Structure formats: structure tokens, C-alpha cells
Amino acid sequence: MLGALVHRGPDDEGRLSDGDFSLGHRRLSIIDLETGHQPIHNEDETLWIVYNGEVYNFRELRQELEALGHRFYTRTDTEVLLHAYEQYGEDCVRRFNGMFALAIFDRTRRSLFLARDHFGIKPLYYHYDGDTSGDGSGAGSFLFASEIKALLEWAGLERAPDDEIVYEYLLYGWHEHRPETFFRGIRKLPAAHYMVVDESGVRTERYWDIEDPDRPVTSAALLPKQAREFGDLLEDSVQRRLISDVPVGSCLSGGLDSSAIVCIMDRLLKKNVPESVAIGDRLKTFSAVYPGEHLDESKYIDLVLQETAAEGNFIYPEHDEFFAELEKFVFYQEEPLVSTGPYAQWCVMRDVARKVKVVIDGQGADELMAGYTPYFFVYFQQLKAERRYLAMLREMLAARDVALPFFRNYLSDRFKPGRKVEARSLIASGFYERFQPDQRRHHTAKTLRGRLYEDTFVHSLPALLRYEDKNSMAFSVESRVPFLDPRLVEYIFSLPAEAIIGGGWNKRVMREALPGILPEKVRRRRWKVGFTTPEMAWLIARKDLVNDIFDSDSFNSRPYFDAAAVRDAFERICAGSAEETLAIWRVLNLEIWLRVFFDNQEDLAN
């Protein structure tokens, strides 16, 4: 199992075995490079911890614990978490600000305490073959790891797809939306949850949540004050995420979020705050660009580089390279993806690893502050339901340059009979009929803030965080996400909708917080691209290879696909007689995933 995780921790390895409990750890050394070997124990060696992540308020916690009599033998945040558990028990996780997946073995109680951070930035997968009733009859084997491939090393685990998850992925594009994974019998501990494993079985509890995210909030007149408070929280969050004994850089897509982080990091460097020593003399940024493509953001990246004098590092993802390493990419991602977009991030992280060991990224801001165009329509509907018709008309007019093209495309998709390829048509009838299509709405919230909550915790962000973790750790890079500071997130959800979308602007409070910090053309950007790829163009450019996959014996023998319908749909897309669809990618991705994890099972780690 440890061998399957070398890429996550190439710097050190540690183990502990004690009867029917054992812990293993692979270390990526970031803080306290000399004495941070894990597992780490408390003073009398009754508690032992293995841990992946960083908790950024560990210094304050350490002072608090030292005042209570705890003694430390390392400078790591790891040891602080262990003593916090010793002092506060299961409630310790409520005090942590950071990203973490941890496991603490209690020798005296013969129990295991596992926990995952507030947003699930760091992964924690597990397999349990005992009873989950919690009535004392829970004897069974329990295994956990930071990646699925480590669990697959256990001979007692039957390797098989979870067909219901596959069904939801093919039909709806859903993934990462519930604890089950694409592998039958392997689940993930949900974000903001802890788990206790002992002789009675397994018990899981949620330790943190946003209080009533759908409740009405009014205070739009306070926007200047809110912008200042938001700016202070964001800067403090970025500063905390610079704590490191190894070099730190930043991703830079040219969008509002990553540009804000780069400009704040540059500001902290110029202010010479102690944490900025990890940046070095000059901030290093990493970007994916596509010269000549409509999704190229080079002009915005250049503006940020000019503003900060940061060092720009550029990669140029191409379709030949993508197909050459598609199986390796799928192997490290472990589960199917909704698009090829994360491949751009994969390429960026490979470049990051050549120069720094820690990178700061802007993940989470879009889900928290309505970064995607459909959120405008959610807000319009909210205003209509509240009978605030004049406000709705004002917002529709102010956002017309963004909303109208999206609405036109939406209508075009609805009223082009025969051109749109439906995902249902690509699924084998026998497989489709095994499951009942989910008639529930994917989103149920009726308000903007309720929708943002759903996308932060269920529908959108969990998948993006999985991509982020797997892409960065594949190259032994730690990625940190300052927008997902619990203090900042709680503050954003305390704001009225008008502070999120107002005057035709999304991310309004953030834009209002950044004059003089961001280049004005970036601060007032209307269109979002981010790390992505020209997906269908790539598939069409290599249609010979894609057709070979769709013609293969393995593809045609799967119970999931209507192979003839898939080939016909892809042919029509290539000819321009059918609309492009992500459903084709999902079919292709699932086939590659099945080959990597169930057919060939080759070692793609190198």
C-alpha cells in the first residue's frame, strides 16, 4: 500500500504495527524537514498519528497546548494535531484551519480516529467489510488511504466497478457527489466529517457546516465595509498558506481568482512579511496557454506579470501529448472526469514540480461567489420569486453582455431537433434499464446562496478538489487553496446575495476589495475561462485514435455502451451535423478507466 503512494510522499516512509492495528505513511516534507518523520507519538506513546496536509493555525494551537502542559519533540503541525486530540478529543477538528486527512491510533482504547478537512481538500478513502449498525457487532477489516490505488493492493478487496455510480456518470455527468466511488466497496469520508473505528464498528459524525445557507440576509448598504473585511480575510488566508520550509509559487490562469492570489502574494513579498521568505526573491507563476485559440488568456496573464514583476512559466498543452499519456493521467486521477479540462492543470503541475514544491491556487472562489454564468439566472429567478421585479430588470440589463450569449446558446440547444446528442442514446438499453433514472433536480436550492452552498459541498467543488489533489500529488507537489479558509467561507455565506451578484457583476465583494491590487482590466473581466482545454477539437483532431477505441473488442463487449450509437454520434459530430457533447468524452474516459484499472492493471506509476 505504501508503495502505491510513493508519489504523494517521496521524501520519507514510516510504519507502526500494534497487534491488529497498523499505520503507514509516505512523507512529502514541507515543514520541519529534519524531525517530522511519521508516525508521530505523544509523550507516553499511547497516541500515534499519520497525517496528510497542512494546518495553518498550528503555531497558535501549539502555544495554547504548551500552556496546558503539553510537551513537543518536533516543530511540525502534525504533532500539534495529535496533542490537540489528546486535549480536546473528537472536538479538536473544530479548531483546525487548513487541509487535512488524519488518522490517530489510540493504543489504550484500541481505536482509530480519522478526520477530513472542512471542504475535503485532502482525500481519505476507506473500505470496511464489517457491520455498520454500531451495535457492537461490527467485527471486520477496515482499511484507509489517501488514494484508491493503495486500497486496491489489499488481496481481500474484490476489484469491480460500482455500476450505479457509472450509470449516474454516463447519464448525468455526476461524480464526487456522494461517498461512494466508482470502485465497489470503496468509499470516501465526506468533507467536514470524522470517523471512529473500534471494536463496535464504525461511527461517522459531521463536525462543521454552514448555518442555514438559504436564510435571507440583508445589508447591501454596507458593501464598502464588507469589501474591506473580505480583503483582510483573503490576505490573511494567503499569508498563512505561505508557511513553508520549501519554495512556494502560484498557479496563474489570468482569471480573477488566481490573479488576485498572485497580486496578494507579491504584495506580501514587498511588505516583507516573515512568511514571504518561502517565495524567494521573485514570485514564480505557472500558466497554461493556447496561442491563437479562443480560450487563450495570455493577455491577462501578461498584465498580472507586468504588475508584479513575477516570473512567468508557461506550458502549451497539445492533443498529441494528451493522448500519449491519457492512460497515465487516468491512472493518477483514479476515477473518471467530467471533461479533459483537468489535463491542463496536470501539465501545469508537472512544470511546477521543476521549480517549487508548494503552489497556491484559486480553487473554490467560483462556487463561493458565483463565478459561472448560470448563477446570474439563479439570481434572476430568486428576485422574481421575491417579487423584486425592478431589481430583477436592473440586474438583467446590467448583465446582458454575459447573460444574453449564454441564453442564446441555451435556446439553441433546446430547439435543434436531431442535432443534440443525448447521453441516454449512448447507453446500452440493458444497462439503462437496470437503474431508475433520478427524477430529482440536480439542484434543489431556490436562492443564489443556497445554490452556491450546493455547488461548494456537493455538485461542483468536490470534483475540482479531487482533480487538484491528484494532479498536484502525481508530481509530488502540495497545492494550497486560500479561498477555502473556513473563516473566509463563513464570512462569504454571511453576506447578502447583492454582495455576490450586483450591478451586473459576479464576485462583487471580491472585485470591490481589489482596486489598486489587481490590474484594472483583470478586475473588470467579464468572461471566465480558467485551466481548460479545447476538448472536442482535440478529439476530432485525433478521430482516428478515438474511432479505434470505439471499434475495439473491449469497448464493444462492455455492458455500458451502445457501441453503434456511440460511433454514429461521434461521426456526426466530426462531420458537423451534430452538436458537440461532453457525453462522448464520458464514454471515452470510462473505457480508458476500465482498461487501466480492470483489464490491464499495468504499473503506470513511472
Topology at the third CATH level for domain 221-333+340-371+461-523: Rossmann fold (3.40.50)
The backbone torsions φ and ψ at residue 146, rounded to the nearest 5 degrees and listed phi first, read -80, -15
Average the pLDDT over each of 52-61, 288-297, 346-355 and give the range with the smallest value.
Answer: 288-297
Residue 597 is classified by DSSP as: I
Query: What does the pLDDT average to over 265-270?
Result: 97
Residue 238 has pLDDT above 90, yes or no: yes
If we measure between CA atoms, which residue out of 598, 603, 604 comes closest to residue 560?
598
Distance CA 206, CA 196 (A): 12
Helix (H, G, I), strand (E, B) or coil at 469: helix
Is 94 exposed, middle or buried (CB count within 10 Å of its CB: 0-12, 13-18, 19+)?
middle
- Residue 106: how many CB atoms within 10 A of its CB? 17
Mean pLDDT value across the chain: 93
Residue 135 has pLDDT above 80, yes or no: no
What confidence score (pLDDT) does residue 531 get? 57
What confidence score (pLDDT) does residue 404 get? 85
What confidence score (pLDDT) does residue 252 get? 97
What confidence score (pLDDT) does residue 274 get? 96
CATH superfamily of the domain spanning 3-206: Aminohydrolase, N-terminal nucleophile (Ntn) domain (3.60.20.10)
CATH 3.60.20.10 residue ranges of the chain are 3-206
CATH 3.40.50.620 residue ranges of the chain are 221-333+340-371+461-523
- Residue 112: how many CB atoms within 10 A of its CB? 18
Distance CA 301, CA 265 (A): 15
What confidence score (pLDDT) does residue 534 get? 83
**Cis (ω within 30 of 0) for the bond into 342?**
no
To the nearest whole percent, how much of the chain has pLDDT over 70?
94
Q: What is the pLDDT of residues 373-385, one digit of tens each?
A: 999 999 999 999 9
What confidence score (pLDDT) does residue 137 get? 53
Span between the terminal Cα atoms of the chain, in Å: 16
CA atoms within 13 Å, Cβ hemisphere of 530: 17
If we measure between CA atoms, which residue out of 336, 343, 353, 276 comes closest to residue 310?
276
- Provide the whole-model pTM: 0.94
Q: For residue 138, what are the CA distances in angstroms to 19, 109, 145, 198, 515?
A: 18, 16, 20, 8, 57
Q: How confident is the model at residue 439 (pLDDT cuts 50, 70, 90)?
A: low
Q: How confident is the model at residue 519 (pLDDT cuts 50, 70, 90)?
A: very high
Q: How confident is the model at residue 527 (pLDDT cuts 50, 70, 90)?
A: confident
Q: What is the pLDDT of residues 71-95, one digit of tens each?
A: 999 999 999 999 999 999 999 999 9
Task: Decide: 423 and 590 in contact? Cβ < 8 Å.
Answer: no
Q: How confident is the model at residue 438 (pLDDT cuts 50, 70, 90)?
A: confident
Residue 123 has pLDDT above 80, yes or no: yes
Q: Which residue has the cell 507537489?
A: 477
Distance CA 417, CA 61 (A): 61
Q: What is the pLDDT of residues 387-436, one digit of tens each?
A: 999 999 999 999 999 888 877 776 666 666 567 889 999 999 999 999 98
Residue 370 has pLDDT above 80, yes or no: yes
Q: What is the pLDDT of residues 346-361, one digit of tens each?
A: 999 999 999 999 999 9
Which cell numbers hold the place of 35?
524531525
If we measure between CA atoms, which residue out of 336, 352, 343 comes closest to residue 317?
343
Residues in the chain: 606
Average the pLDDT over each of 278-282, 299-303, 402-406 and give the range with the smallest value.
Answer: 402-406
Q: How confident is the model at residue 186 (pLDDT cuts 50, 70, 90)?
A: very high
CA 398 to centroid of chain Cα atoms: 32
Query: Residue 200 belongs to what H/E stretch?
Result: none
